Amino acid sequence: MSHAVARLRDARIARSVKPFLARGSRSLRCPACRLVESHCLCAWKPRVAAQSAMCLLMHDVEALKPSNTGWLIADVVADTSAFGWSRVAVDAALPALLNDPQWQPYLVFPGEYVAPERVVSEVRPTPGKRPLFVLLDATWTEARKMFRKSPYLDSLPVLSLQPEQLSRYRLRRSTRGDHLCTAEVAALCLELAGDQRAADGLNAYLDVFSQHYLAAKAPRAVDLSDALHQHLRLFL
């Protein structure tokens, strides 16, 4: 069964005027994991449970990029929703989700960009509610624009993360090492919510995904018995 990011990608492709050509697009890719078939990751998808949920608000072509890590979140966290972002139109299902009484939504964004009274640094248990983390899946420049131009997010508490290490993500360049990729942010959220095994599984999955992705570009073979794969096996 396809997940929310896969369905969003299919919808984005369906309305495209011309095909999206990712780097290495001439290679045959697995439709389920998006990697070159010789480096398929499908057998390595973690099987973990999480009390938390994720809501990905994705900028235009993010769902089409093979390097996008929101896809990994949807692979791991069963309750993941995904919406394409637009300045002029909002999918009615998005505010409905944010207002659903079963969820306690948190908009994940640096606290320095919002009023102090909106900022929280921890996830506190709320009776009858489960945490729902809203992640802006985009480049940093795009994410700031999305944050400013999405008034339906203005009432949400802003969860400001304080990562203790630099990003391990190597598939796209960033001018700042403290800018985490979307999957790394999601793992930190899961950890704060007490979903430690899901957080660890997602991090292990990201490491192996990155290794397979870069090996396919080289191209070179991947050692399926190395330390990264052995660690990921703990979550299969």
Report how far apart, in Å, the C-alpha atoms of 27 and of each of 31, 35, 224 are: 12, 9, 21
The continuous run of DSSP H or E covering 141 comes out as helix 140-148
- What tens digit of pLDDT does each residue of 128-161 get? 999 999 999 999 999 999 999 999 999 999 999 9
73, 186 contact by CB (below 8 A): yes
CA gap 189, 161 in Å, rounded: 8
> How far is Cα 235 from Cα 230, in angstroms, rounded to an integer?
10
pLDDT digits (tens, 9 = 90+) for 47-87: 999 999 999 999 999 999 999 999 999 999 999 999 999 98
| 61: Cα separation from own chain's centroid | 14
Task: Give the pLDDT confidence score for residue 168 in this predicted structure.
Answer: 58
Which phi and psi (to 5°) does residue 230 adopt? Answer: -65, -40
For the chain, give the mean pLDDT. 90
- The length of the chain in residues reads 236
Which tokens sit at 43?
């057998």
Residues of the chain above pLDDT 70, percent: 89
pLDDT in tens, 184-195: 999 999 999 999
Residue 180: the pLDDT is 87
CB 3 within 8 A of CB 33: no
Q: Rounded to whole angstroms, how far apart are CA atoms 59 and 167?
A: 21
Partner residues linked to 158 by β-bridges: 107, 119
Find out whether 67 and 148 touch, Cβ atoms under 8 Å. Answer: no
CA atoms within 13 A on the CB side of 185: 25
Q: Which residue type, as a one-letter code, is found at position 230?
A: Q
User: φ and ψ at 85, to 5 degrees?
Assistant: -90, 140
Q: DSSP labels for 43-80?
A: GG------S-EEEEEEEGGGGG-TT-SHHHHHHH-SSE
pLDDT score for 25: 55
Evaluate if pTM is beyond 0.85. Answer: yes
pLDDT at 176: 46
